[in-house]
Amino acid sequence: MTKTAVRLVDATVTVNAGSSNEKNILDHVSLELQPGDFVTVLGSNGAGKSTLFNVIAGSLALTSGQIYLGELDVTHMSEIDRTKYLSRVFQDPKLGTAPRMTVAENLLLAERRGKSRRLRNRNLTKTKMAEFATLAAKMGNGLDSRLEMATGDLSGGQRQALSFLMATQSQPELLLLDEHTAALDPKTSAQLMAVTDQSIKAEKLTALMITHNLEDALEFGDRLIIIDAGKIALDVQGATKQALTITELLTYFNRY
Ligand X SMILES: Nc1ncnc2c1ncn2[C@@H]1O[C@H](COP(=O)(O)OP(=O)(O)OP(=O)(O)O)[C@@H](O)[C@H]1O
What is the nearest approach in angstroms of ligand X to the Cβ of residue 4?
Answer: 23
Beta strands in the chain (DSSP E): 6-15, 23-33, 38-42, 64-69, 72-73, 86-89, 174-178, 207-210, 223-228, 231-237
What is the nearest approach in angstroms of ligand X to the Cβ of residue 209?
Answer: 13
| Region class of 102: left (phi > 0), else alpha (psi between -120 and 50), else beta | beta
What is the nearest approach in angstroms of ligand X to the Cβ of residue 44?
Answer: 7
Give the residue with the Cβ less far from ligand X, 44 or 83.
44
Query: According to CB under 6 A, which residues from 30 to 69 bind ligand X?
Result: 43, 45-51
Separation in Å, CA 140 to CA 165, 169, 191, 196, 205: 12, 16, 8, 12, 20
Separation in Å, CA 34 to CA 201, 206, 242: 14, 7, 19
Give the residue with the Cβ less far from ligand X, 34 or 44.
44
What is the nearest approach in angstroms of ligand X to the Cβ of residue 43?
Answer: 5
- Residue of 5, 25, 39, 234 interacting with ligand X (CB under 6 A): 25
Give the residue with the Cβ less far from ligand X, 51 or 106.
51
Give the residue with the Cβ less far from ligand X, 7 or 49.
49
Give the residue with the Cβ less far from ligand X, 15 or 119.
15
Side-chain half-sphere exposure of 182, counting CA atoms within 13 A: 15
Task: Compute how many other C-beta atoms are within 10 angstroms of the C-beta atom of residue 21.
Answer: 8
What is the nearest approach in angstroms of ligand X to the Cβ of residue 224?
Answer: 15
Residues that contact ligand X, how many (by CB under 6 A)? 10
Q: What is the DSSP letter of 37?
A: -
Site residues (vs ligand X, CB under 6 A): 15, 25, 43, 45-51
